[in-house]
């Protein structure tokens, strides 16, 4: 069985993000970009399923600018078999990405699509769910454990009250949470092998998808800075401030 893993190129999680001076977005020029960490977890999970003999092929797909091929190379270096780059310079919204992914699913016919639960740039947390709806497939989101069985997959989900396990009939959609696994580092031999792995180039038009944004970003602003605290002279003063000013007592 095939597993499809969408991977997104985002600002590296170690970079301190800065808002553009004109407030139209965040600064991306000369900023280090890498694979969305939740997507790395998705790639890792797919690779483990393949190594366990439960999957035969892992296909990574990325929707984005030409440089998103670097993100695909990372997935290939981790061990994915081939890549599909859907090239667009437009900032794509989750619904557009989900529609493109549906087009790829129709073509590739995977039994499982594993996505990160959200991307760390826009934190939308929508693509997996929208894709499930467009395909009419079952979805197991925020997975902390994935057990693949014959014809079905049991997904343990992290929910507010604890853990919930759902059983999905294949084909299905899974989105990954932080604790599902610890992604591997790419190995030097695999990085070299990845150079020979194919990346197919497509465009949104290939799948008949109009990626023009439906939403308009009005303004991007830095979160308000933290205000300086005050020193209190005594416990009595602390209690009175907590009571009267902070209102927490």
Partner 1 sequence: MHHAATTDNAYRLPDDIQEFCEVARRIVRDELLPLEQEYLASSNHAYGVKETINLKNVFGPKVVDRLTDLSKETGLWNLMVPEEHGGAGLSMLAQVAILEQFNYTPVPFPFANVPNILYFCSGPQIEKYLNPVISGEKTTCFAQTEPNAGSDPGGMMQTRAVRDGDGWVINGTKMWISMAAESDIIMVQAVTDPEKRQRGGITMFLVDRNNPGVKIEEGGIRTWLGPKPSQYVVHFDNCRVKDEDVLGEVGGGFSMGQRWLTIHDRLLRGPYALGKMQRSLDMSVEWAKQRVTFGRPIAERQAIQWKLADIHIDIEALRALTYSVAARADAGEDVRAEAALVKLVSTEWGARSVNEAIQIHGAMGEALELPLTLFYRYLRHAQIGGGTSEIQRVLIARKLLKG
Q: Which residues bind partner 1 (CB under 8 A)?
A: 12, 14-15, 30, 32, 34, 70, 73-74, 77, 184-192, 194-195
Three-class DSSP category at 77: helix
Q: Which is nearer to partner 1, 1 or 15 (CB)?
A: 15
Q: Rounded to the nearest 5°, which phi and psi values hold at 206?
A: -50, -35
Q: Which is nearer to partner 1, 164 or 187 (CB)?
A: 187
Instruction: Give the torsion sign (CA, 13, 18, 22, 28).
Output: negative
Q: Which is nearer to partner 1, 195 or 219 (CB)?
A: 195
CB of 75 to partner 1, least distance (A): 12
CB of 70 to partner 1, least distance (A): 8
Q: Which is nearer to partner 1, 1 or 186 (CB)?
A: 186
CB of 15 to partner 1, least distance (A): 8
CB of 11 to partner 1, least distance (A): 11
- Which of 74, 98, 72 minimizes the C-alpha distance to 175? 98
Q: Which is nearer to partner 1, 87 or 184 (CB)?
A: 184
Cα–Cα dist 145/166, whole Å? 11
Instruction: Give the torsion sign (CA, 83, 87, 89, 91).
Output: negative
Residue 153: half-sphere exposure toward Cβ, Cα within 13 Å: 30
CB of 195 to partner 1, least distance (A): 6
**Beta strand 152-159 with 138-149: parallel, antiparallel or unpaired?**
antiparallel
């Amino acid at each position: 069985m095939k597993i499809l893993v969408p991977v997104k190129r985002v600002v590296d999680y170690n970079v301190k993000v800065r808002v553009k001076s004109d407030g139209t977005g965040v600064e991306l020029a000369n900023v280090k970009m890498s694979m969305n960490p939740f997507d790395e977890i998705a790639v890792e999970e797919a690779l483990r399923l393949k190594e366990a003999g439960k999957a035969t092929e892992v296909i990574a797909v990325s929707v984005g600018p030409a440089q998103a091929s670097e993100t695909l190379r990372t997935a290939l270096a981790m061990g994915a078999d081939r890549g599909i780059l859907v090239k667009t310079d437009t900032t794509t919204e989750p619904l557009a990405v989900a529609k493109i992914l549906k087009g790829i699913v129709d073509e590739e016919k995977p039994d499982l699509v594993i996505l990160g639960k959200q991307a760390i740039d826009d934190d939308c947390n929508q693509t997996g769910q929208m894709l499930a709806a467009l395909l009419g497939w079952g979805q197991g989101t925020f997975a902390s454990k994935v057990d693949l069985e014959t014809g079905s997959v049991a997904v343990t989900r992290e929910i507010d009250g604890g853990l919930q396990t759902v059983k999905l009939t294949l084909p299905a959609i899974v989105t990954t949470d932080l604790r599902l696994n610890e992604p591997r580092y790419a190995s030097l031999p695999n990085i070299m092998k990845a150079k020979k792995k194919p990346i197919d180039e497509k465009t949104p038009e290939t799948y008949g998808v109009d990626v023009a944004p439906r939403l308009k970003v009005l303004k991007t602003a830095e979160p308000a800075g933290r205000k300086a605290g005050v020193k209190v002279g005594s416990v009595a003063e602390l209690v009175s401030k907590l009571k009267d000013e902070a209102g927490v007592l």
